[in-house]
Amino acid sequence: MIRTICVFLALPVFASAQNLDDDLRARLAAAHIIVLGETHDNPAHHEIQADLVATIAPKAIVYEMITEAQASQVRGDIVQEERALEKVLGWDESGWPDFSMYYPIFVAGVGAKTYGAAVPRTEARKVMGDGLAAAFGADAEVFGLDAPLDPDQQRQREAMQMKAHCDALPVELLPAMVDVQRLRDARLAQVAIKALDDTGGPVVVITGNGHARADWGMPAAIALVRPDAVTVIVGQGEGGTVPEGRFDAVLQSPPAERDHPCLAFKKP
């Protein structure tokens, strides 16, 4: 029986991808699915992801940032031209940080099949009107989306959404915001499992730390649906800060230079 790796009691923290200990290297080599978290606007996090992709040499890479249709356009010849790939992916209109940060991951992953797990805005909006299960579709029950969260977890998630949006969200929107996060977690897990079935793995998932967390992010959905998949989760911190949630290991980088995120919510 294959077991899911969940080692959280003595969380290893490493300064870079080159400083991984032998135990983590062995677990990465044995994994079916490797989830690589990030803080989206930190260039160092993407450098580490690219290094790990080159080391792991996965058969497939799942990106949170692109859709299934966009992923189907990623070919080796296009990957060789940064601007061409950026255009094919519609990156300028996507709202994600500068493509130059993500491009080395695509280059490192040449030879791997590319999968997109982004939930289009139109689909996310269905949560508001149709509910979470209907928005996800046929496998909603399989991924546990037909059932409410434990009340304590629901409260924690709503509090995190409020904090992430600088206390600027109407309280009545919080349940739907949590449902959208659950939708995205489940879609990432669904696509990662498909990639594993299609290619045999290993599969690397590129996503934010919030989706990568093992306790209630996409790895939890993988464990629910495919408990025999060996999944290793690597989070990334900044300046010694460990991201919220559970991870098998956390890599550390200097903080990115950025304006205070709450400035955008202040009225002029």
What region, left, alpha or beta, does residue 148 occupy, with left being phi > 0 and alpha being psi -120 to 50 degrees? beta
Task: Domains for the chain: give ranges and CATH numbers.
Answer: 13-130+183-253 (3.40.50.11550)
**How much is the pLDDT for 10?**
43
Distances (CA, A) of 54 to 37, 50, 57, 58: 16, 6, 5, 8
Using one digit for the tens of pLDDT, what is the confidence trace for 46-89?
999 999 999 999 999 999 999 999 999 999 899 999 999 999 99
Torsion sign over Cα 103, 191, 146, 122: positive
Name the pLDDT band for 5 (thresholds 50, 70, 90).
very low
- pLDDT above 80 (res 15): no
Between helices 121-130 and 174-199, what is the axis angle to 10°? 130
> Over the chain, what is the mean pLDDT?
92
> Distance between CA 175 and CA 199 in Å, rounded?
36
- pLDDT above 70 (res 35): yes
**How much is the pLDDT for 204?**
99
Name the pLDDT band for 8 (thresholds 50, 70, 90).
very low
* Residue 243 DSSP code: P
Determine the average pLDDT of the residues in 1-15.
42
